[in-house]
Amino acid sequence: MSEPPFRTVIEPFRIHSVEPMVMTTAEQRREAVRAAGFNLFQLPAQEVLIDLLTDSGTGAMSRDQWAAIQHGDESYAGSPSFFIFRDAVRDLFPFEHVIPTHQGRAAEKILFTVLGGPGKVVPNNTHFDTTRANVEFTGAEALDLVIAEAHDARSEHPFKGNMDIAALERLLQERGDDVPCVMVTVTNNSGGGQPVSLENLRAVRATCDAFGKLLFLDACRFAENAWFIRSREPGHGERDVADIVRELASLADGMTMSAKKDPLGNIGGWLALDDDELALHCRNLLILTEGFPTYGGLAGRDLEALAQGLREAVDHDYLRYRIRSTGYLGDALAQAGIPVVRPIGGHAVYIDARALLSHLDPLEYPGQALAIALYETGGVRSCEIGTVMFGRRPDGSERAAAMDLVRLAIPRRTYTQSHIDYVIEVCERVAARAGDLPGYRIVSEPPVLRHFTAEFEPVG
Ligand code: F0G
């Protein structure tokens, strides 16, 4: 008989090199956030105690990744580091062409420069903001076709990242000629870090086949998605995660990747695909902006670190810890009565700020108000994903976003359970006086992507 698992989420690593955190007082933080125009993107990072702004590029590299950095070969053309990188990518994603880029959006820019254009429409479960922006920049339309459950924060559907297959079929029937490719984002970041099931991806593949369409994965969080498949989708509980990842890849014609997420890099990305002619176009564009095809936007040492990171990303002990530790935060908040998007996603916990700060109108930015309070109270930096981010429409008018969320994104292998316990305490303290938090108004904003630079002031 096996014993029950321990309650503590033990980190499957020891600390090898430490980075000091700067302790600040609440008074200092109130001053800092005021000086930053109440915009957390404008804060100097030293003013932040626990930085949950993003899980992108903020993870800790391993001893073996730092060792791999020493192995980097900086030859302009044909560096052996490229081939080590390419083979590590292909071990999980066996595409013919692997094109390194400096990060995910560079891969998107190249792909949609070739495939996009006015009159085209690109469906996705939910486009991440840079994917949407890169599609729209070409004049094409970016369409989100995620299942309806994704819009219900309380739905416990195990694969809320799934594509609405009937809606995809309808689109392909009505506007098939305008669709250059179908994309699926794993996990669905903008929808709460929710996974896509293998069954759903197989159905997307079948639909693409029926209409002769290319299928691309936006695969940033492929390992977390594969872990969810292993733990939630019937019939996969005994499988090796790497094997599940290979099956995900086998269903697609190509992928874009931000290696700043699951591949455990601080920088990097790639575009991979099978089609020779498309790859030729993409490589030509790569040379214009990123670099020669054997390094793309990266140094040889980065390519080596990513090759090693990819091997670590599919380690079961790591993934078990990763998903459990994110769940640990989410479950603790839920237990404290703080409304969070269910089920808890892979890389982040999303607080439903509209529900928690129900005294505020969405146009008083409850997500922004909550994020500022978390920072002032405990030095925790999070990210508003709501009306500040999505409320401004192309015609200049403003309306409430579908949800007002605050994302607590968890950098990989960076914070310990006691850091997270502290975050939980900060959230509880803020939630206890949520009804007193002021709303905000925007004092100045740029024409696009306003959340990065807008300045705010408290209402009243
Ligand atoms: N696709 C998804 C699903 C992402 O989450 C991101 C980045 C990108 C593409 C773009 O990759 O940053 O390397 O250019 N997401 C980060 C975040 C920024 O905070 O969620 P990139």
Whole-angstrom distance, CA of residue 447 vs CA of residue 444 = 10
Q: Is the CB of 220 under 6 A from ligand 1?
A: yes
From CA 385, how far away is CA 190, in angstroms rounded? 8
Mutate to test the pocket of ligand 1, among 108, 135, 261 (most ligand atoms within 8 A of CB): 261
- Which residue, judged by its Cα, is nearest atom 2 of ligand 1? 128
pLDDT value, residue 5 = 82
Measured in angstroms, how far is the CA atom of residue 232 from the centroid of ligand 1?
Answer: 25
Estimate the share of the chain in helix, then strand, then coil, as percent rounded to the nearest 5: 45, 15, 40
Cα–Cα dist 136/53, whole Å: 25
126 C-beta closer than 6 A to ligand 1: no
**What does the pLDDT read at residue 1?**
65
394 SS3 class: coil
Cβ(128) to ligand 1 under 6 A?
yes
Whole-number Å distance between alpha carbons of 90 and 249: 10
- Residue 63 has phi, psi (to 5 degrees) of -50, -45
**Whose alpha carbon is nearest atom 18 of ligand 1?**
56
Of 55, 125, 130, which is best to mutate to test ligand 1, by the most ligand atoms within 8 angstroms of its C-beta?
Answer: 130
Kindly state if the Cβ of 104 falls inside 6 Å of ligand 1: yes
Which residue among 189, 256, 262, 405 is best mutated to probe the pocket of ligand 1, counting the most ligand atoms within 8 A of its Cβ?
Answer: 189
Please give the pLDDT value at position 300.
98
Instruction: Report the C-alpha gap between 452 and 389 in whole angstroms.
Output: 9
Structure tokens at 19: 């980075």
| pTM of the predicted model over 0.85 | yes
CA 459 centroid distance within chain: 31
Identify the residue whose C-alpha is closest to ligand 1 atom 21.
Answer: 104
Q: Is the CB of 188 under 6 A from ligand 1?
A: no
CB atoms within 10 A of CB 89: 25
Residue 56 CA, closest ligand 1 atom number: 16
From the list 291, 204, 286, 209, the residue with the least C-alpha distance to 248 is 204
Return the DSSP state at 383.
Answer: E
Query: What integer pLDDT is reported at residue 174 of this predicted model?
Result: 98
Total Cβ atoms within 10 A of residue 460: 6
Ligand 1 centroid to Cα of residue 14, in Å, is 28
Question: 141-144 and 440-444: which strand pairing?
Answer: unpaired
**Is residue 239 a contact partner of residue 230, using CB atoms and an 8 Å limit?**
yes
d(CA 223, CA 153): 23
Cα angle 155, 156, 162 (rounded to 5 degrees) comes to 85
Ligand 1 site, residue 105, Cβ cutoff 6 A = yes
Q: Which two tokens stand for residue 414?
A: 């960076």
Low-confidence ranges of the chain (pLDDT < 70): 1
- Confidence (pLDDT) at 460: 81
Predicted local distance difference test score (pLDDT) of residue 251: 98
Residue 392 pLDDT = 87
Predicted pLDDT at 333: 98
